[in-house]
Amino acid sequence: MKPSKNHPAPSVLPGEPADASAPKPPAGVLERGLSILECFREDRLRMSLRELAECTGLDKATLLRLLGVLQRARMVHRFDSGSYAPGPALLHMGMLYRSTFDLGTRLQPVLHAVMQQTGETVAFYIRSGDDRVCLYRENTVKEVRHHVEVGTRLPLAAGGSSAHILLAFTGSPTPHQAEIDAKGYAMTRAERVDEMASVALPVFDGDGTFLGAMVVIGLASRHNIVAQRKAADIVRQELALQGFASAAPNGWRVPAA
């Protein structure tokens, strides 16, 4: 029927959100399915049908059809309450991903991106007994800098922000525990090396495994507290982009020795 005074043309096409601010749903079926999976995050592991509709811009009828397909593929799990969560097939795919790329291949882009944005040296340390060992690093190109070499071994007792992170997440005492608990990072200035300031954060893999500490270190004169806090935010963002986390998952406990 053609539009008329009595039957004006609809302002919103069927299946499209009426709210102009709502997200525009993807056109392809595969893209729509992926848009559902991308709605889940660490802070929203369970979502209702209404929440998924708001997140994707898809109408509920279309969502239910796609969720049915994802459930059968075990990519989405539906609880008796009606809420949805990521399914076990995604864990399997994640494990395949981890087997495809070694830790260095996945971490190096983070180190490089953080160095580019902060202009300071970035390194990743693990704990080995009473020492910390540098596994990966990205040195700044600035002439005056703190230079870190892969394989560098330093005693945890000597201090430094990465040492405090490693101590805190491997069950050893550290005077920075309260700061780490409250802010998620450790910050030091001229503690191990004069004129140097650093900020370090824990690094967790997607399955909740604690991997080590990522540290940004530079001259205290230019790497002030504001710059250190900004560096911590950058590390968080870049880790998340590569599938890592900078905070322990809910319920995480220090593994028994």
Q: Is 15 helix (H, G, I), strand (E, B) or coil?
A: coil
What is the edge-to-edge ordering of all strands in the sheet holding 196-204? 153-155, 131-138, 121-128, 210-219, 196-204, 186-189
Whole-angstrom CA distances from 10 to 15, 57, 62, 134 are 12, 19, 20, 63
Of the chain, the percentage scoring pLDDT greater than 90 comes to 58
Residue 27's pLDDT band (cuts 50, 70, 90): low
Instruction: Please state the rounded mean pLDDT for residues 4-20.
Output: 46
Q: Is 7 helix (H, G, I), strand (E, B) or coil?
A: coil
Q: How many CB atoms lie within 10 A of CB 194?
A: 7
The label of the residue with tokens 């399915």 reads: 33
**Can you give the residue ranges of every domain in the chain?**
29-94, 101-241
Instruction: Please state the rounded mean pLDDT for residues 13-27.
Output: 55
* Among the ranges given (8-22, 122-136, 206-220, 239-253), the one the predictor scored with the smallest mean pLDDT: 8-22
Whole-angstrom CA distances from 204 to 35, 107, 169 are 25, 11, 10
Whole-angstrom CA distances from 109 to 113, 200, 216, 238, 252 are 6, 17, 15, 8, 26
Q: What are phi and psi of 5, to 5 degrees?
A: -60, -40
Of the chain, the percentage scoring pLDDT greater than 70 comes to 84
Element of type H or E holding 157: none
Whether residue 135 has pLDDT greater than 70: yes
pLDDT score for 10: 45
At 32-72, the pLDDT tens digits run 999 999 899 877 899 999 999 999 999 999 999 999 999 99
Q: What is the CATH number of domain 29-94?
A: 1.10.10.10
Decide if 53 contacts 88 (C-beta within 8 A): no
Please indicate whether the domains covering 29-94 and 101-241 agree at the CATH topology level: no
Whether residue 5 has pLDDT greater than 50: no
According to DSSP H, which parts of the chain are helical? 29-37, 49-56, 60-72, 88-100, 103-118, 161-168, 177-183, 225-241
Nearest-5° Cα angle at 77, 71 to 81? 120
Instruction: Show the tokens assigned to 36.
Output: 């559902």
Topology classification of domain 101-241: Beta-Lactamase (3.30.450)
How far is the C-alpha of 11 from the C-alpha of 29, rounded, in Å? 25
Facing residues of 216 across strands? 122, 199
How far is the C-alpha of 213 from the C-alpha of 105, rounded, in Å? 16
Higher pLDDT, 13 or 61: 61
Go through 94-111 and write b for each residue having 16 or more CB atoms within 10 A of its CB, e for each that does not. Answer: eeeebeeeebeebbeebb
